[in-house]
Chain A
């Protein structure tokens, strides 16, 4: 039975995990910083390692946490919206649209702000395209939405491939890193953190209604959920959360798919717990993966998306193989 105390206990443990992941991210790197020095830097005492911790590692860890949280939240919401446990934040073409925007911006040589701006515009464009096409005749069924999203994503994939194939060699590396997802390109960490806080605040009041929606649209409507309104809201919320993350760090894969599954395995499918727990777990996982990406073959850095995929694929296959309990 769903229970508030148990939920709080799980959320507190996951918060500790998040704190631990930050600790590790601030200490570890090509230059090791002792725990005491990290603490001193965070408390504002000027010291040797202060700049590395505050200027380099903390913003990157914060951006990583925000992106991981946004992706996990968007993934959990998409899975409910499409009533499909295999849905992820990118299934409806949001990252494809952002990819087209970002590739174009890199291709014509725009600065970081321009890349971010066009990526976000591309994500919004894909979102409205899917929304408009899927909603065309007012039916707005799960299958229609899913198919429209998959087709739009495929179209975006083709455009991205086109731009990659005509891009000069000097720009190719940056484009590939963007596509794989890379936190080194993250600018300020405040926009994604703000987006995460807003998205979670907007989603939580509807968590119990999402539980019902996951069980079926007619059943949910019969039990008192304004289903159509809720589904529009979830679509917009999940899409904007994905867009915020993709704009910050490129299309990091597997966090949005695997984290809600992992959390569901541990906590059950009550969205009142699943949503905040996914945010904490997704954020922590991405911070840890990014720390690994910075250190595995330091001083060279890997794009974090490669690591999340390398971790995510076996974890997901394992989960899939034990699904029929």
Chain B
């Protein structure tokens, strides 16, 4: 078995002096899919940006490909993992294709311009998220869902072996939610991509992930295979609201009581 794509060692994450993740050991190997679940403010996004090396942990370490991600030059880190943030703000105009092409940055030398091959990768990524034919559109004319799919296309253009997704489904309608999750699931299945994503729907987490990491917001974390951990009992405690579990054709569904 090859070394994990990402590994945390006794990771401690704090937000505003409050400990949200206490001594977490987590390893994600190629092809694995992990969902992060928890209430609002439980530290899901903070944990994810810490995993991406964008934020310093309070203690412990995050290893990308076996190297401490804080000691790694940013460009090398960008070749190891791609990170999707929750918010996209665009103070300046830009076309859809130019935006998707920014994903190629870590692959280009200082004086390189994007080649036709880079453009082809970007076009394929746009096609994969259903934005084909919109290459020349200005980004501020896009709808929220289209902007989100463009951010995902930029991530695909980056072509890193590990995807860290913060609420990849926000702004997306139902068909695009499923399309995006299928897309990343097939990247994991066919290309051996690792996947860690913050999700709000435990049913989708159960359907599209192998493991789940629950954040309780007070530093406690719990992880395990989705079948074992995503149950009405644990989720009711996690969200602080009673949930009932239904099953249909192997898919789980949770409804509030």
A→B interface (CB under 8 Å): 1-4, 79, 83-85, 205, 208-209, 211-212, 214-216, 218-219, 221-227, 264, 268-270, 272, 324-325
Contact = CB atoms under 8 A, between A and B. Distances in A.
B78 A268 contact: no
Interface string B83-126: 10100111111110111011101101011011000010000000
Nearest to A84: B91
B73 A226 contact: yes
Which one of A212, A219, A222 has the greatest number of beta carbons of chain B within 10 Å? A222
Given A219-B88, A226-B73, 4 more contacts: A205-B110, A215-B92, A219-B102, A224-B79
Contact of B98 (A1, A209, A218, A225): A1
B101 A222 contact: no
Contact of B77 (A3, A4, A79, A224): A224
A270 B77 CA distance: 24
B82 interface: yes
A224 B92 contact: no
A28 to B, nearest CB: 37
The 10 closest A-B pairs by CB, nearest first: A224-B78, A224-B75, A224-B106, A222-B83, A269-B92, A223-B105, A224-B74, A4-B113, A83-B91, A226-B74
A51 B78 CA distance: 59
B82 A222 contact: yes
B142 interface: no
Contacts of A205: 110-111
Contact of B105 (A3, A218, A224): A224
Contact of B114 (A1, A85, A216): A1
A208 B49 CA distance: 23
A3 B119 CA distance: 11
Nearest to B135: A1
B52 interface: yes
Contacts of A85: 91-92
Contacts of B138: 325
A200 to B, nearest CB: 15
Contacts of B46: none
B98 A2 contact: yes
A222 B91 contact: no
B252 to A, nearest CB: 32
Given A1-B101, A2-B113, A218-B49, A269 B94 contact: yes
Contacts of A223: 78, 102-103, 105-106, 158
A1 to B, nearest CB: 6
A3 B116 CA distance: 10
A268 B98 contact: yes
B64 to A, nearest CB: 12
A150 B113 CA distance: 37
A264 B77 contact: no
B54 interface: yes
A3 B108 CA distance: 15
Contact of B119 (A1, A209, A269): A1
Given A212-B105, A222-B52, A268 B94 contact: yes
A3 B54 contact: no
B112 to A, nearest CB: 8
B108 A208 contact: yes
A222 B151 CA distance: 13
Contacts of B119: 1
Contacts of B141: 325
Given A85-B92, A222-B85, A224-B78, A208 B105 contact: yes
Contacts of A218: 49, 54, 83, 85
Contacts of B83: 218, 222
A221 to B, nearest CB: 5
Contacts of A268: 93-95, 98
13 contacts: A1-B97, A2-B101, A2-B113, A85-B91, A208-B108, A211-B102, A215-B102, A216-B85, A219-B88, A221-B54, A223-B102, A224-B75, A227-B74
A310 to B, nearest CB: 27
A219 B85 contact: yes
B110 to A, nearest CB: 6
Contacts of A3: 113
A218 B114 CA distance: 22
Contacts of A227: 74
Contacts of B103: 223
Nearest to A217: B54
A268 B95 CA distance: 9
A264 B106 contact: no
A270 B82 contact: no
A181 to B, nearest CB: 27
Which one of A85, A221, A264 has the greatest number of beta carbons of chain B within 10 Å? A221
B74 A221 contact: yes
Nearest to B118: A1
